[in-house]
Amino acid sequence: GKRMRPVLTLIGGSLFDVPANESIHAALAIEFFHNFSLIHDDIMDAAPVRRGKPTVHQKWDANIAILSGDVLFTEAYKQLAHYRDERLADLLTRFNDTAIEVCQGQQLDMDFETASSVSEEAYIEMIRLKTSVLLGCALEFGAILGRADVPTRKLLYDFGVELGIAFQIQDDLLDLYADPEKFGKQVGGDVLANKKTLLLLTAQRQADQQQDDRVKALFVMDKSEAKVETARILFNELGATDFVKAAQQQHYDKALQSLEALPLPDAKKEPLRQLAAFLVNREY
């Protein structure tokens, strides 16, 4: 993994002069939770590979994946229990709320697989829950540890959530438009798997009857480079790619607005500005 989430907690803490050896436990809680959720999600999605290696349920079995996930989840709470002062209740409350939202996001994602139609708003809400709130939580942990006031905490949380949505949309875009040399995995994987992505949902909304037939024809094409290229042509023609990029930009802008509103010296914000730019411009 990129270990982006624990780094967010360390950076969040550094905004308020929390030393890394103090924020490390909160950072580990975030990373343990993230890996727990991947282990359980991979069972539910029957995913064979994660980070280029067999998933836990694939390498061992589903029972071991359920149980070791449960233990890893608990290990996250053990990291939080290192903070034995008045900050613990706030850390715990944010973490619990986030954990439940991540589970809700996973449930929505599974529901969408069999749903006859999914709106773009519902899709964004799904990625907000499944991915983005954890980035918000990771950053807010830094603010809680630094004893920032509630409005400041909220600005940092919102920055993380909006950035997370832009980050996840970048995943959708890269899947179809990445440079194969840089991407490191198969370009077009979502199209080949007929996955409902924001690009596809937007294309379907934009399509007239005849174009909609072409989208449906895409679903039954064999897995091939031709299928991926057909999707690219169709999505460009329907303006889906531009729409999705515009949506991404909106969330990125919102993130930066929250960042700018933070009552902190500009120099302190620079690492987050750079990280944000990296996460939505990345090519892999």
Least Å distance between CB 129 and its own copies? 12
Give the whole-angstrom CA distance, residue 259 versus residue 275. Answer: 12
**Closest distance to its own copies from the beta carbon of 96 (Å):** 5
The span of 96-104, 133-141, 208-216, 226-234 binding its own copies (CB under 8 A) equals 96-104
Q: Give the shortest CB-82-to-its own copies separation in angstroms.
A: 9
Kind of pairing between the strands at 53-54 and 49-50: antiparallel
Mask for 110-149, x = binds its own copies (CB under 8 A): x---------------------------------------
| Residue 81 interacts with its own copies (CB under 8 A): yes or no | yes
Beta-carbon count within 10 A of 14 CB: 17
With CB under 8 A as the contact rule, the residue among 5, 25, 40, 128 that binds its own copies is 40
CA 98/CA 265 separation, integer angstroms: 29
Give dist(CA 32, CA 13) in Å, integer: 18
Site for its own copies contains 75 (CB under 8 A): yes
Distance CA 144, CA 137 (A): 10
Instruction: Look at the alpha carbons of 197, 200, 201, 203 in this order and tell me if their dihedral is positive or negative.
Output: positive
* C-alpha 246, offset from chain centre: 18
Binding residues for its own copies, rule: CB under 8 A, are: 40, 43-44, 62-63, 66-67, 70-71, 73-75, 77-78, 80-81, 83-84, 88-89, 92-93, 95-96, 99-100, 103, 106-107, 110
